[in-house]
Amino acid sequence: MPRGRKSKLRTRERRCQAQSGTQGLTGAQATAAEEEAASSSCPSLGVTTRRKPGAKSRSTLKSPQRALATTTNPAGVSPARSNKGAKGQMKKKHSSSQAPVSAVRSRKGPLRRTASVLVQFLVHMYKMKKPVRKAHMLKFIAKKYQNRFPEILRRASFSMEMLFGVDLKEVDRTKHTYTFVSKMALPNDGTMSRGSGLPKTGLLMYILAVILMKGNCATEENIWEFLNKMRVYAGKRHFIFGEPKKLITQDWVKLKYLEYRQVANSDPARYEFLWGPRAHAETSKMKVLEFLAKVNHTVPSAFQSWYEEALKDEEERAQASGCSSVLSSSSHTESEANSALCG
């Protein structure tokens, strides 16, 4: 096949993948919501992935609205209750641990409701910068469900990661102690404000994914199209993310996580987003792709064209890191030589 035609076909394929990709993120977050046990609100990028013949695809996810609707309030609680609720439940210990499961007989199943309560507790402990032990978490799970702890923890951990961009890592297998690791180093543990609010790192990860899938540059229309599917609207305060327009076009731009610039020669003026220098420093295309793959219950290589791009990016980073190590070593050797001469 002539090279020109091959290039056109590749470009067309990439464009189609990107279109389905943005829907995929919304779908992805939707599944995150379902998998989590909460009534939160995160969308998905409905990504189309390659799969083996006959294999069932899980990458085309449920409706975007449902996706985000499920992910915005992961714990299924009102803003006012998010912190006080966790503190109060810790004081009440066993009695409160059974309350969440029996108190609300909503359309959510008991494991989802229990995981939802556990998310509230985990967010509280994350903000307190304290590790958490299995014994602590069991106090929030009714006795009849405690044998399902691994599944409940999996749901809650998935929710923490997809919603808030926070990983739960086991650091002591004997005492079953866990600690929290944020995917990015946003101020105040991702809350962006001292003493209040919820981590916003998850939203930043989704925006970085949209930018990646749009060819490393997404128009403002692309971003808001995605966010609206998450029921996040410019000028309308959001339970987790606050005033999203300010957060995205000012706060994260000022912190250099995003670059926000006018589209060349646009009249009237239109704007677009790119990764900022801190995003490049604190994460990578491969990490964002891994995040996206996890939310779609697949593997990074399923997103073939982006995976190839991410691999190339990893190679370039490794080479740059190797060069800087060599330069540092060379500088150190030269410094020692100068000292010896001076001596």
Q: Are 248 and 211 in contact (CB under 8 A)?
A: no
Same domain, yes or no, for 262 and 199? yes
Confidence of residue 113 (pLDDT cuts 50, 70, 90): very high
> 52 Cβ partners below 8 Å, 6+ apart?
none
| Higher-scoring residue by pLDDT: 109, 137 | 137
Residue 37 has a pLDDT of: 31
CATH number at residue 114: 1.10.10.1200
Q: Is residue 249 part of a domain?
A: yes
Same domain, yes or no, for 204 and 156? no
Same domain, yes or no, for 148 and 197? no
96 phi/psi in degrees, rounded to 5: -75, -25
| Ordered DSSP codes for 257-281 | SEEEEEPTT-SS--EEEEE-HHHHH
Give the domain-ending residue among 182, 206, 237: 182
Strands 271-275 and 218-219: antiparallel
pLDDT in tens, 255-294: 999 999 999 999 999 999 999 999 999 999 999 999 989 8
The token pair at 217 is: 């540059």
Lowest mean pLDDT among 16-20, 33-37, 122-126, 219-223: 33-37
Residue type, 201: T
Can you tell me the mean pLDDT for 135-148? 95
Q: Is residue 25 part of a domain?
A: no
Can you tell me the mean pLDDT for 54-64? 37
| Higher-scoring residue by pLDDT: 324, 207 | 207
Residue type, 307: Y
Can you tell me the mean pLDDT for 149-164? 93
Same domain, yes or no, for 161 and 212? no
Residue 321 has a pLDDT of: 79
Confidence of residue 327 (pLDDT cuts 50, 70, 90): low
CATH number at residue 269: 1.10.10.1210
Q: Is residue 47 part of a domain?
A: no
Q: Is residue 246 part of a domain?
A: yes
Same domain, yes or no, for 164 and 207? no
Could you give the 3-state DSSP secondary structure of residue 173? coil
Same domain, yes or no, for 208 and 309? yes
Same domain, yes or no, for 205 and 237? yes
| Higher-scoring residue by pLDDT: 343, 163 | 163
Q: Is residue 83 part of a domain?
A: no
Q: Are 270 and 284 in contact (CB under 8 A)?
A: no
| Higher-scoring residue by pLDDT: 323, 325 | 323
Same domain, yes or no, for 202 and 145? no
Give the domain-ending residue among 182, 211, 235: 182
Domain count, the chain: 2
Residue 189 has a pLDDT of: 65
129 conformational bin, left if phi > 0, alpha if psi -120 to 50, beta if neither: left
Q: Is residue 234 part of a domain?
A: yes
Same domain, yes or no, for 198 and 289? yes
E-strand stretches of the chain? 45, 132-133, 166-172, 177-182, 218-219, 258-262, 271-275
Residue 127 has a pLDDT of: 86
Residue 3 has a pLDDT of: 55
- Whether residue 204 is predicted with pLDDT greater than 90 in this model: the reply is yes
Can you tell me the mean pLDDT for 146-151? 95
**Residue span of the structural domain in which 155 resides:** 109-182
Same domain, yes or no, for 162 and 217? no
Q: Is residue 288 part of a domain?
A: yes
Q: Is residue 8 part of a domain?
A: no
